[in-house]
Amino acid sequence: MKQIINYLESHIEPLIDYWLSTYYVKSDEYELRKNVDGFLDAQRKETLALFLTAFENIRKGSCAVPVFEEIGEDRRDMNTSFKDVYTNYHAVYTAAIEFMDVQIQTGKADFSLEDYSKFILFFRKLELNSGRHLFEGFLKRQDSSY
């Protein structure tokens, strides 16, 4: 599985570009902010930083990325709907698996079935555990009027 994580880390920018062009540009959040100068670039940089943090946590043996709580708070403050936060979050993980599948099918990557299966299970745990932080951040109440 370590080989797959290393492969993803070394191909993180094409993966993020795949997610942005395949999923994110279809989101309500993007539609609301697409005319804001630098917004898409900022989204790309944020996603890159999140993935790099995730890889760092994975190397430490963690199966969560607590910084997602801040992202959740940020999205709430940007008035992004919960539906869009939920959809965008899971689309990142879907895009990563699709990206890996394309790499394998085109012969750009070669992993054993056992390693790939372990990776998928681990990645799903990462998605579940990090998602908890994202949604907790989004649902935090900063004042009684929210």
Pairwise CA distance, residues 119 & 141, whole Å? 35
Q: Measuring CA to CA, which residue among 111, 82, 6, 92 is closest to residue 50?
A: 92
146 — pLDDT class (breaks 50, 70, 90)? very low
Helices (H), the chain: 2-10, 12-22, 28-33, 39-59, 68-77, 82-105, 113-139
pTM: predicted TM-score of the whole model, two decimal places: 0.87
pLDDT score recorded for residue 145: 45
Domains of the chain: which residue ranges? 1-139
pLDDT score recorded for residue 143: 52
pLDDT score recorded for residue 137: 94
